Chain A
């Protein structure tokens, strides 16, 4: 009886270890691939000479495989852990200028009127998505994704404009606020610069 019980416990332990092995392999895989990808994006993405190593391609294809991608989707493991790494990414801002029929400025907003700090954090996450505009700054022909981001801004603006009288319109500017670096600040450049990226005109119709 004792012997059977020992075997039962051992096989349960083996099963647990097998699961732990798979779980940590997935965590390692995602951690390595996200770290290497962000390192590659920082140092080599613009370089014409550098070719993406085969190892990165293999890691990415494994993490996109059916089993791994579904497991990480369900468990939240696919995010990677490189917070603010390797470098802190820039965050764009949107200025919404609400104007009346007579062109009088009624309101200037930088985000909808949120009631909680958590909402602002979520909105900041949304603004982070516009980094793609910085990567493809001044391109002659916008990619599908950039056109999609335009639609996102326009639909957001329309939603905000709905709260105003129907004849009001809105001018929307997507821009990059650039705070001086620590070195620049110490060299006397203390004023942030605002780099316009795109602008849109929105009406309630």
Chain B
């Protein structure tokens, strides 16, 4: 048994060779773009004078947050909120860039996690799926040896140490398998997923279907369409661990999962959530063989 587990985790696979490079570059770029996606609304959510005052937010949340830090620095050191927010933005961007270029990636990831936690955990009223998956991706950035391929660190220090990327990719693959299985299983327990009502309800939720509100009403004549979408979602997620691990079905299943997330992006306006999910899926099961290298 242990031999099989060892072989599963540690036998080097050529398809995994550039996985660490892809993971580092895509996650860091995603974090940077997502961070600035709020634009001038950033202060609504994360300043000490935002939509919900710090005092109110703190009642059920003891975590340290950016608004709490702003408040503290303003009261005790007379720092203006704008200066601290600007400094925070510069630090966050700098760490994303050092991660992108592979310059002490673990250190960058560690500090990025801390900054990310100040936003996500400090203001849980506004945090949703994308934030938790960014946290998960950042944690993997911390434990994966991301400086190993095409990194600035390797270029500067002429480091020739090579690492086997397969065990790290196995961690991600297993995590994805468990995650999708339980996501599908949860939906299987809900009777409204069987008759298409959940899909119908999701596309009519306020705030979510912002661009296409009402556009799907004519499809109500074909309820089977929603039943198929509901069961399709359940099956794609529930059978993910099985079909993603079979070489013959991997590409088809990967395309189905990507299609599912593209649908979520455009219909529910969850663009960033879908993007991080697609990135993690490609990182987990895409082909990262180095060209001209035989299997």
The stretch from A27-35, A49-57, A60-68 touching chain B is A27-35
User: Does A1 have its Cβ within 8 Å of any Cβ on chain B?
Assistant: no
B contact residues around A82 at 8 Å (CB): 182-183, 186-187
Chain A interface bracket (under 10, 10 to 19, 20 to 34, 35 or more): 35 or more
Residues B192 and A177 in contact, CB atoms below 8 Å apart: no
Residues B197 and A122 in contact, CB atoms below 8 Å apart: no
User: Does A193 have its Cβ within 8 Å of any Cβ on chain B?
Assistant: no
Residues B183 and A81 in contact, CB atoms below 8 Å apart: yes
| CB closest residue in chain A, given B136 | A76
The stretch from B71-79, B100-108, B122-130 touching chain A is B122-130
Residues B125 and A86 in contact, CB atoms below 8 Å apart: no
Residues B171 and A116 in contact, CB atoms below 8 Å apart: no
User: Does B88 have its Cβ within 8 Å of any Cβ on chain A?
Assistant: no
A contact residues around B273 at 8 Å (CB): 121
User: Does A106 have its Cβ within 8 Å of any Cβ on chain B?
Assistant: no
Q: How far is the CA of A115 from the CA of B42 in the complex (A)?
A: 10
Interface of A is mostly: helix
Residues B197 and A181 in contact, CB atoms below 8 Å apart: yes
User: Does B24 have its Cβ within 8 Å of any Cβ on chain A?
Assistant: no
Residues B128 and A42 in contact, CB atoms below 8 Å apart: no
Given the interface pairs A31-B179, A35-B189, A75-B135, the reply to whether A118 lies near B201 with Cβ below 8 Å is no
| CB closest residue in chain A, given B234 | A85
Smallest CB–CB gap between B94 and chain A, Å?
A: 22
- In the complex, number of A-B residue pairs with CB atoms less than 8 Å apart: 207
Max chain B C-beta neighbours (<10 A), residue from A27, A87, A121? A121
B contact residues around A124 at 8 Å (CB): 128, 205-208
The stretch from B13-21, B150-158, B219-227, B246-254 touching chain A is B219-227
Q: How far is the CA of A24 from the CA of B80 in the complex (A)?
A: 44
| CB closest residue in chain B, given A35 | B186
Q: How far is the CA of A38 from the CA of B136 in the complex (A)?
A: 22
Q: Mark B192-225, 1 if CB is under 8 A from A, else 0.
A: 1101111011101111101000000100110100
User: Does B51 have its Cβ within 8 Å of any Cβ on chain A?
Assistant: yes
User: Does B37 have its Cβ within 8 Å of any Cβ on chain A?
Assistant: yes
Residues B129 and A83 in contact, CB atoms below 8 Å apart: yes
Given the interface pairs A81-B183, A120-B269, the reply to whether A88 lies near B178 with Cβ below 8 Å is no
Q: How far is the CA of A64 from the CA of B177 in the complex (A)?
A: 24
User: Does B60 have its Cβ within 8 Å of any Cβ on chain A?
Assistant: yes
Q: How far is the CA of A73 from the CA of B223 in the complex (A)?
A: 41
| CB closest residue in chain B, given A79 | B132
Q: Mark A119-133, 1 if CB is under 8 A from B, else 0.
A: 111111111010000
Given the interface pairs A20-B9, A76-B133, A87-B193, the reply to whether A125 lies near B127 with Cβ below 8 Å is yes
User: Does B38 have its Cβ within 8 Å of any Cβ on chain A?
Assistant: yes
Given the interface pairs A27-B178, A85-B183, A186-B221, the reply to whether A75 lies near B139 with Cβ below 8 Å is yes
Q: Which 6 A-B pairs have the closest CB atoms?
A: A76-B135, A86-B190, A85-B186, A82-B186, A124-B207, A79-B132
> Can you list 5 A-B contacts with CB-CB less than 8 angstroms, sorted by A residue number?
A20-B9, A20-B170, A114-B44, A126-B52, A159-B52
